[in-house]
Amino acid sequence: MRLSRFFLPILKETPKEAEIVSHRLMLRAGMMRQEAAGIYAWLPLGLRVLKKIEQIVREEQNRAGAIECLMPTLQLADLWRESGRYDAYGPEMLRITDRHKRELLYGPTNEEMITEIFRAYVRSYKNLPLNLYHIQWKFRDEQRPRFGVMRGREFLMKDAYSFDIDEAAARKSYNRMFVAYLRTFARMGLKAIPMRAETGPIGGDLSHEFIVLAETGESGVFCDSDVLNLPVPGDDVDYDGDLTPIIKQWTSVYAATEDVHDAERFEREVPADKKLNTRGIEVGQIFYFGTKYSDKMKALVAGPDGVDVPVHGGSYGVGVSRLVGAIIEACHDENGIKWPEEVAPFRAAILNLKQGSADTDAACEALYKELSAKGVDVLYDDTDQRAGGKFATADLIGIPWQILVGPKGLAEGKVELKRRADGSRENVTPAEAVARLTT
């Protein structure tokens, strides 16, 4: 992408309404724009990151055997009356009446709808286990939306729903999602720690939140610092095999949110030098809720003995749009964002330090063509901005690899390859720069 043809409205001033760094940087970097309280338009740079996060979530859901579908944003109120949650949900549910006076709502989650779909088609244990997920916009009418996409009202969530014949099978489904989440967040460059959590309005008796440690997080957390160094399962993990050793390893080390914190156990089990009491950002939560919805909504399947039993369910959420903010909270410095490579809007940027000069123009064009042809997602800053401005923009928007092309270096056949993560720079030939980014 040539920057001269892209739409990247960088802000010079730090917006006053933004209270936390991710919100400030997303506005300054031209990633999004507020259209109403807690409702944002994703500008092209922000959308690129959102899509990369979404794709990682999708790939890891698929790898774990979940199947993608897509439920609508609007739902019938009557569906929620079946589960009893229509009245229970309170003012955070956006209630809507259509032209025929039918009551609808903007879905904040989809347990009811997926249960309705399940009971319409599935009758036998032979079709289980089943895990259906979708990645769709949700709405939660927050009393006081704030912190940009971290606590927006319209937000993008991945929610998966598992169906099993009994609790033992349902716990296996739960474990598959547990492992998928470990992999999902690690691929984004995050250390997200699973912590025992309360179940809240979803219900059930087993739940983990996945928490990224950050001072700006909304929850207090307590953990053993050893949990930060546990190994994340590789892409060869066998989801059909026994995952309990992985789950045991991750759940035996103390880690809990303040809501369910056991001060006595924390004191007893965790050595003083490993006690971590900080704050965290929730980026995912998983639930096993048994027959809570299938009982009320009559989602029954015949077991091997031919007798109908209510199906056992779990649900598994990832805050896709919230993750954009969470990653920035974890990956930034005073100059801007430092995207992990897997979620960067562009993997590399070419900075033409003397636009309009024949030698730098030719070298940049050649690099741009070659990198694009080799499938590298590259942004070519071909604007008339002075070199200092180009450095500042590339750092602000957090491009992991920056190729600086100036007349002095070129005279010696060299460009500078800069890594945003640590600021290191190296003089290399253009061919070496290409090789570095493609091997």
User: Residue 164: CA atoms inside 13 Å, Cβ hemisphere, count?
Assistant: 19
CB of 276 to a second copy, least distance (A): 37
69 binds a second copy (CB under 8 A): yes
CB of 89 to a second copy, least distance (A): 12
On the question of a cis peptide bond just before residue 129, with omega within 30 degrees of 0, the verdict is: yes
DSSP-assigned beta bridge partners for residue 331: none
Binding mask 105-124 for a second copy (x = CB under 8 A): -x------x--xx--xxx--
CB of 399 to a second copy, least distance (A): 17
Distance in angstroms (rounded) separating the CA atoms of residues 53 and 101: 38
40 binds a second copy (CB under 8 A): yes
CB of 77 to a second copy, least distance (A): 10
CB of 386 to a second copy, least distance (A): 16
Q: Which of 14, 17, 19, 37 binds a second copy (CB under 8 A)?
A: 37
CB of 387 to a second copy, least distance (A): 20
Nearer to a second copy, 89 or 266 (CB): 89
Nearer to a second copy, 143 or 439 (CB): 143
Residues 281-340 that bind a second copy (CB under 8 A): none
Binding mask 400-439 for a second copy (x = CB under 8 A): ----------------------------------------
88 binds a second copy (CB under 8 A): no
Nearer to a second copy, 65 or 303 (CB): 65
Stretch of residues binding a second copy (CB under 8 A), selected from 1-9, 219-227, 337-345, 411-419: 1-9
Tallying the residues shown for the chain, one arrives at 439
Beta strands per DSSP E along 323-384:
332-333, 336-337, 348-352, 378-381
Alpha-carbon dihedral sign for residues 106, 163, 197, 297? positive
Nearer to a second copy, 71 or 366 (CB): 71
Nearer to a second copy, 65 or 389 (CB): 65
- Is 300:294 a contact under the CB 8 Å cutoff? yes
Alpha-carbon dihedral sign for residues 418, 423, 424, 425? positive
CB of 140 to a second copy, least distance (A): 11
Q: Between vectors from CA 19 to CA 16 and to CA 20, what angle results, nearest 5°?
A: 125
Residues 127-156 that bind a second copy (CB under 8 A): 130, 132, 137, 139, 141, 143, 154
- Is 61:134 a contact under the CB 8 Å cutoff? no
CB of 63 to a second copy, least distance (A): 13
Distance in angstroms (rounded) separating the CA atoms of residues 131 and 128: 9
43 binds a second copy (CB under 8 A): yes
Closest CA to 210 of 49, 57, 86, 398: 57
Task: Kindly determine how many residues on this chain lie close enough to bind a second copy according to the rule CB under 8 A.
Answer: 51
Nearer to a second copy, 70 or 168 (CB): 70
35 binds a second copy (CB under 8 A): yes
3-state secondary structure of 146: strand
Distance in angstroms (rounded) separating the CA atoms of residues 316 and 152: 20
Nearer to a second copy, 113 or 350 (CB): 113
Residues 154-193 that bind a second copy (CB under 8 A): 154
49 binds a second copy (CB under 8 A): no
Query: Read out DSSP for 225-249?
Result: GGGGGPPPP-TT--TTS--HHHHHH
- Is 160:66 a contact under the CB 8 Å cutoff? yes
- Two tokens, residue 125: 């244990």
Closest CA to 375 of 412, 334, 347: 347
Phi then psi for residue 236, to 5 deg, are -95, 10
Helix residue spans in 92-220 (DSSP H):
111-121, 167-187
Pairing of β 206-213 and β 192-196: antiparallel
262 Cβ neighbours under 8 A, 6+ residues apart: 256
Residue with tokens 């010696």: 412
3-state secondary structure of 99: coil
Q: Which of 12, 13, 16, 91 binds a second copy (CB under 8 A)?
A: 91
Nearer to a second copy, 137 or 438 (CB): 137
9 binds a second copy (CB under 8 A): yes
Q: Which of 75, 285, 294, 402 binds a second copy (CB under 8 A)?
A: 75
Interface residue list for a second copy (CB under 8 A)? 5-7, 9, 30, 33, 35-37, 39-44, 47, 50, 65, 67-76, 79, 91-92, 94, 96, 98-99, 102, 104, 106, 113, 116-117, 120-122, 130, 132, 137, 139, 141, 143, 154
